[in-house]
Amino acid sequence: MKEIKTSGRITILNDYLEKKGLKSTQQRYDIADAFFKTTAHVSLDELLRRVRRRNPDIGYATVYRTMRLLTESGLALARQFGDGQTRYENVPEDGHHDHIICLRCSKIYEFHNRKIEELQEDVAKKMGFEVIRHKLELYGYCRDCA
């Protein structure tokens, strides 16, 4: 039996809200729910569009503020790809992953390596940092394109 994916994450959000003395509202639920269903990197505009299919009265600012909450609670990742828009990445339940991208065919593969992450922690600690998250992207040529 597999639990419905979003339910666990909604719980994480609710716990976060409670811990901060914030409130669970229908809007926050609608936005989180819509966001958890995304797979790529959504902009605020795109997300607002989706949320409004369910709840047409929601405003841009509410989506903006909710995405900040989701980001703070670790459920979303704010990313900049240089096109002037912040995009939000849905952090999957089974943890994050890194990317390896082929410079010729543009295919993106995912990987995860615990040892690398340990070393990252070491480096950070040495510099007095507490790491919250990281981004690692390898660019090169895949087997087919080498």
Q: Which of 5, 11, 15, 22 binds DNA (CB under 7 A)?
A: 22
108 binds, among its own copies, DNA, none (CB under 5 to 8 A by kind): none
Q: Tell me the one-letter amino acid at 117.
A: E
Name residue 71's amino acid.
T
Tell me the C-alpha distance between 128 and 88, whole Å: 28
Minimal distance, residue 43 CB to its own copies, in Å: 14
User: What whole-number distance in Å separates Cα of residue 105 and Cα of residue 93?
Assistant: 28
Helix (H, G, I), strand (E, B) or coil at 26: helix
| CA atoms of 44 and 39, how far apart (whole Å) | 14
Find the binding residues for DNA in span 97-136 (CB under 7 A).
none
Q: Which of 82, 88, 93, 105 binds its own copies (CB under 8 A)?
A: 82
Segment 28 to 67, residues that bind DNA, using CB under 7 A: 28, 43-45, 55, 57-62, 64-66
130 binds, among DNA, its own copies, none (CB under 5 to 8 A by kind): its own copies
Per the CB < 8 A criterion, the answer to whether 62 and 69 are in contact is no
Within 100-129, which residues bind its own copies (CB under 8 A)? 100, 102-103, 109, 111, 113, 115-116, 119-120, 123-124, 127-129
Which string of DSSP letters, residue by residue, matches 58-84?
--HHHHHHHHHHHHHTTSEEEEE-SSS
Cβ closest to DNA, residue 81 vs residue 143: 81
Alpha-carbon span 86 to 2, nearest angstrom: 33
Residues in touch with its own copies (CB under 8 A): 78-82, 86, 100, 102-103, 109, 111, 113, 115-116, 119-120, 123-124, 127-143, 146
